[in-house]
Amino acid sequence: MKIRCSQSQLLFGINTVLKAVPSKSSMTILECILFTADENGIRLTANDMELGIETYIEGSVEIAGDIAVDAKMISNLIRSYTGDKAEDFVIESDDTSTVHIYSGNSKVDIPGRSTEEFVLLPELEKKDPIEISQFSLKELIRQTIFSISDNDTNKIMTGELFEIKEDQFKVVSLDGHRISVRNITLKNSYDDKSVIIPGKTLQELLKIIPGDVDKDVSIFLCENHVIFEYESVKVVSRIIEGNYFKIDQMISNDFETRFDINKRDLLEVINRATLLIKEGDKKPIIFNVNDDVASLSITSSLGKMEDDINISKTGKDIKIGFNPKFLIDALRVIDDENVTVYMVNPKAPCIIKNEEESYLYLILPVNF
């Protein structure tokens, strides 16, 4: 194999597929990137058996072939060239034991691996793609990913529900203490579909999708896998098997208290309150909603704080406590200037949502 390409293209390809390379694996071949050069161009592939990514990069193929290279080694090596030394690279291999890398007057030899050991991405039947803009998909993930669970005892909670009903696309995540829901309207209508996608896949996807408003991502929901395709990149992931929680049964439309509040003011007060919380402490922030004022307070070993924010309220007064981090996570991803908060009683969840319910965040209270 012999290829020639720029440093920028090499780094683009390596950084993209690197998201599917495990930091450590009992199968060392999974810690490699597969370089393939053929009539289709230069393709880079990584696969950790759960998540696989491949992308094409610009460059010229002088001799067709393939080789697997340690991902960390090739990434650090290509990145080490700076300034005038970062000329076009030639990567050459005439066997599976050595890879020659040339740039300007520099030559580096590193070990290669046999491609026979490498686990290629599965061949899947792709049909009925769901089209969504890169920007919209990235926003859906960003605005929900924080409330997946990192505890593997309940696998379902470590993923997100992607649900399609005609032209409605719903994304849901939960961790046992909160629920995040985002709804958007797609450009086209589709057959009803539902799939649970691992949080890890979505976190890595969030990092590599450019987020262009005018360019789409094609999503293929296969039997045991999901495929995301955009531009020159393909991401293949296993799905989580099982039935997702019945979210509609967990969310009530009944409320005793409703108030509108400026999001920036609320976020500022909660952030300030967290300065009085030691790492590892579970100190709640207390809301005392009374008339047209929400008094927020916190007491800890580091100090005490109370702050008032003007609100527009209907319904009963209420005093209720929350984990401040959960409120911050939700408020940070809401773009509205003002938010509406719904409460029932000090033991029931609060809900933050807009009238269209394009977003909904449910947060359980804590005792104080």
Which helix (H) or strand (E) segment holds residue 109: the answer is: strand 106-111
Residues of the chain with pLDDT below 70 are 84-86
* Region 2-111: CATH code: 3.10.150.10
Q: How many helices (H) and strands (E) does the chain have?
A: 7, 24
In angstroms, the CA 278 to CA 157 distance is: 28
* Region 130-249: CATH code: 3.10.150.10
Specify the CATH class of 252-363 in words: alpha beta
Closest residue by Cα to residue 284 from 266, 296, 267, 294 = 296
Domains 2-111 and 252-363 equal at CATH topology level: yes
Question: How is residue 247 written in tokens?
Answer: 């979210």
Q: What is the pLDDT of residues 9-37, one digit of tens each?
A: 999 999 999 999 998 888 899 999 999 99
Q: Note the pLDDT of residue 84.
A: 67
> Could you tell me the pTM of the whole model?
0.92
Q: What is the pLDDT of residues 195-208, one digit of tens each?
A: 999 999 999 999 99
Q: Where are the domains of the chain?
A: 2-111, 130-249, 252-363
Q: Note the pLDDT of residue 12.
A: 96
Radius of gyration of the chain (CA): 25
Q: Note the pLDDT of residue 85.
A: 60
DSSP-derived 3-state class of residue 358: coil
